[in-house]
Amino acid sequence: MKKAHPKAATEAAFDKKQAEQPENEKTSQLESHVADSSEEVMTTNHGVKINDDQNSLKSGDRGATLLEDFILREKITHFDHERIPERIVHARGSGAHGVFKLYESQSKFTKAHFLNDVAAETPVFVRFSTVAGSRGSTDLARDVRGFAVKFYTQEGNFDLVGNNMPVFFIQDAIKFPDLVHAVKPEPDNEIPQAASAHDTFWDFISLMPESAHMIMWLMSDRAVPRSYRMMEGFGVHTFRLINKAGEACFVKFHWKPLLGVHSVAWDEAQNISGKDPDFHRRDLWDAIESGAFPEWELGLQIIPEEDEFKYGFDLLDPTKLIPEELVPVERVGKMTLNRNPENFFAETEQVAFHVGHIVPGIDFTNDPLMQGRLFSYTDTQLIRLGGPNFHEIPINRPVIPVHNNQRDGYMRQTINRGKTSYGPNSLLNNDPQQVKESDGGFTSYTERIDAKKVRARSKSFFDHFSQAKLFFNSQTKPEKDHLINALCFELGKVKTVAIRERMLGVLARIDQSLASQVAFGLGLTVPKEPEYPMNKSIPADGDPADFESLEVKTSLKSSAALSMADTVKDNIKTRKIAILASNGVDGKSLAAVRATLEAEGAITEIIAPRLGEITTDTKLKIPVDQSFLTAASVLFDAVYVPGGDHSVAEIMAEPNALHFLNEAYKHCKAIAADKSAQEIFDFTYFSKKVSKITDDEAAVNEGLIVNSDPTKLAAQFVKAIAQHRFWAREPERKVPA
């Protein structure tokens, strides 16, 4: 008798079971696969009950993560393969080609060729990105920004895969899928896109005290940069450098933008998302096309091996930074982006970065987040780029020849000659040959490992609040106000009150005033006895509520490097200036001011009631760049209104022009006008501020300039624009301190 197919037998059994049930209890075949995890224990995909989902298996609590950790590998493998074909995170990005030039040889610290040879010009490809959103999301989300650099060195590719913030949310890679699941759109309704202001994210964060420091960065102005060209980059992890003598030191990598570190206002960011969601992408492309090449200096924080435990925090903890007051950042070279991609998909979309792409002279540490990344990146490229040959895509190829015994696979492009693809071999004299370390062969740093296999976190990782406090205390008053407003906005979107209250307890551990002001904005009070999360980042032999005993006491109360207040403010290069004008404009004043701005490197655009041309008072025709229909103040850094009776009258009669000025003032931008155009300001809500300005006086400190002399006006305007913003204009926070 012919046996029934197993699938048919299963379906028959299901149908029989269904038939025996009352009509109202019958379940569809689809519903039988629905998983409800409430009141269930955690298991692997193969049903093994999980004892610890918080820590990866390591050789000692500060040791390397072990490959045998099948729970870690299953969890991250599944996570890496959840989406196709866009990246799981960092899906929304922009890229550019460039070069890196070294200032001075770093041979004292590393044998890496590109950090030794000052004559070399190392090609690079850089990809900037948001983290949480899809490819179609906005550039201006409140988010971390990826800052990934691929160095095409003479010893192979080195990928410095970092962010615009020096720390991260979690300490162990096993928590990365949880973090991203929490911040991504909620799975029941796929809402919200590219936003952390929702319940699942803050539920997770409020239960993970190790995220406290990163949350301070994410809620700060660093999360809404003015452009990719005006943000810092960090390698995040502590790496090792190794010199030719085999001596090692620890290092943190930094990128310092020569244009300074600047942001936009949150209200402005939301408006830009509607007006031009490609704002950062367009800005980078246009700057390079115009020859205003973005530049960053590479900085190194070097820590001798003997100083590993000197600072009271653990160098292997990715939620910690090294304050620059303790270890200065030495600027060792400059990166210049000078060429846009020829094809976005072929280059920017297919570029594959990996923390594990290193060269001799650079090596890893046992940072448990880094250790997990060493597995994750290759794994995710396999599915995203279709197989093991993603290294053969032109944008990923090294600039030196590749020879090994790897063969075949999807999309193989190399045509390997000969019959050997193994080693050792006698048919080809053992070619390709292994290389001695003295001839440039890569060897891992010899680190002693002698520890028990454990799922645990080193107690040196348990201080979650000291550096969060340091960051908050380092901010200026406007920066603190923005951070508090950001928390009020984000937590105000959270529907579950218990999550808000739990988060207030976390904030109270950072700063009581911070927690009080956020609580006031939420209409809540700070819990007297905060609910502390019970997870394994808290020592098992300690009191979970006694975080105070775990905090590092330091004489460093603030760090100037953590504030954006003292960044570069000495130029207006690439700043976009809107000139509001119409027919009859004062051509002499317009020409003088525009020439000065452009000579200083700014970009000017004429914004008029309609497209086409405007005619000056001397009958000169000037092309209009945008009308008020397509232009918006949020897309510009400053605004100038030239004189001319007819032009001024037309601008005054245009509601969008008045809104343009009001919004520019609200977002704290520099605004200038010829004295003969001052009456326009009578129709703005900031008219009283302008009325105090006399003919030959510029309120440069206020960012409002009115002058009858176009030469003086232009000089004063340049100084004001260089200050970036005038945050003092913002209203005082009328809440308890």
Predicted pLDDT of residue 536: 46
Query: Where among 396, 424, 454 does a domain terminate?
Result: 396
The owner of tokens 């003598």 is 245
Query: Where among 364, 396, 428 does a domain terminate?
Result: 396
| Contact predicate 710/674, CB 8 Å | yes
The secondary structure element, H or E, covering residue 240 is strand 239-242
Q: Rounded distance, CA 147 to CA 332, Å?
A: 18
Identified catalytic residue from 90, 113, 357, 482: 90
The SS3 assignment for 110 reads: coil
Asked if the bond preceding 432 is cis, omega within 30° of 0, the reply is yes
Answer whether residue 416 is part of any domain. no
Domain residues for 599?
576-729
DSSP code at position 43: B
- State both tokens at 181: 């699941």
Q: Rounded distance, CA 276 to CA 264, Å?
A: 14
In CATH, what number is assigned to the domain containing residue 620?
3.40.50.880
In CATH, what number is assigned to the domain containing residue 161?
2.40.180.10
Q: What pLDDT digit, counting tens, does each position of 654-688 carry?
A: 999 999 999 999 999 999 999 999 999 999 999 88
Q: Could you confirm whether 163 is annotated as catalytic?
A: yes
Please enumerate in sequence order all residues whose Cβ is within 8 A of that of 157, keeping only pairs 6 or more positions apart, or say none. Answer: 150, 151, 357, 359, 396, 398
Answer whether residue 325 is part of any domain. yes
Find the DSSP H helices in 511-653.
512-522, 587-599, 645-652
Answer whether residue 405 is part of any domain. no
DSSP code at position 191: B
Query: Where among 396, 422, 453 does a domain terminate?
Result: 396
Model confidence, pTM: 0.88
Please enumerate in sequence order all residues whose Cβ is within 8 A of that of 446, keeping only pairs 6 or more positions apart, or say none. Answer: 246
Tally the domains of the chain. 2
Backbone φ and ψ for 86, nearest 5 degrees, come out as -75, 160
Residue 108 to residues 112, 157, 248, 326, 444: CA-CA distances in angstroms? 11, 22, 10, 21, 18
Q: Rounded distance, CA 256 to CA 567, Å?
A: 10
Q: Rounded distance, CA 201 to CA 603, Å?
A: 40
Neighbour count for residue 130 (Cβ, 10 Å): 25
Backbone φ and ψ for 689, nearest 5 degrees, come out as -65, -40
Q: Rounded distance, CA 148 to CA 159, Å?
A: 7
Q: Could you confirm whether 667 is annotated as catalytic?
A: no
Q: Rounded distance, CA 485 to CA 520, Å?
A: 11
Dihedral angle at the C-alpha atoms of 725, 333, 281, 641, nearest 10 degrees?
30
Q: Which long-range contacts (CB under 8 A, 24 or more apart) does 710-715 make?
A: 710/588, 710/589, 710/592, 710/593, 710/674, 711/592, 711/596, 713/589, 713/593, 713/672, 713/674, 714/592, 714/593, 714/596, 714/597, 715/596
Predicted pLDDT of residue 37: 66
Sites in the chain below the pLDDT cut of 70 = 1-37, 47-48, 83-84, 530-551, 553, 691-701, 735-737
DSSP 527-563: -SSPPPP-STTS-TTS-TT-GGGGSPP-S----GGG-
The SS3 assignment for 230 reads: helix
Answer whether residue 510 is part of any domain. no
Q: Rounded distance, CA 584 to CA 57, Å?
A: 74
Q: Rounded distance, CA 735 to CA 737, Å?
A: 6
Q: Rounded distance, CA 56 to CA 67, Å?
A: 10
Residue 411 to residues 105, 324, 359, 402, 478: CA-CA distances in angstroms? 40, 46, 26, 17, 53
Residue 166 to residues 285, 336, 404, 468: CA-CA distances in angstroms? 26, 21, 36, 12
Q: DSSP strand E in 294-439: where?
A: 295-304, 330-339, 362-363
Find the DSSP H helices in 122-233.
176-183, 199-206, 212-218
Mutual orientation of helices 266-275 and 477-492 as an angle, nearest 10°? 60
Backbone φ and ψ for 581, nearest 5 degrees, come out as -150, 165
Please enumerate in sequence order all residues whose Cβ is within 8 A of that of 714, keeping only pairs 6 or more positions apart, or say none. Answer: 592, 593, 596, 597
Answer whether residue 535 is part of any domain. no
The secondary structure element, H or E, covering residue 379 is helix 368-384
Predicted pLDDT of residue 49: 77
Answer whether residue 411 is part of any domain. no
Half-sphere exposure (Cβ direction) of 415: Cα atoms closer than 13 Å: 0
Neighbour count for residue 737 (Cβ, 10 Å): 8
Phi-psi region of 613 (alpha: psi -120 to 50; beta: other; left: phi over 0): beta
Predicted pLDDT of residue 20: 58
Closest CA to 140 of 231, 273, 265: 273
Answer whether residue 492 is part of any domain. no
Predicted pLDDT of residue 497: 97
Answer whether residue 65 is part of any domain. yes
Backbone φ and ψ for 440, nearest 5 degrees, come out as 105, 5
- State both tokens at 404: 């090994």
The owner of tokens 């005054």 is 652
Q: What pLDDT digit, counting tens, does each position of 439-494 carry?
A: 888 888 988 888 999 999 999 999 999 999 999 999 999 999 999 999 999 999 99
| Contact predicate 628/656, CB 8 Å | yes
Cα of 277 vs its chain's centroid, Å: 16
Residue 431 to residues 149, 302, 428: CA-CA distances in angstroms? 32, 39, 6
Q: Rounded distance, CA 634 to CA 661, Å?
A: 10
Closest CA to 223 of 166, 181, 165: 165
Identified catalytic residue from 55, 157, 163, 164: 163
Predicted pLDDT of residue 36: 64
- State both tokens at 688: 């009283």
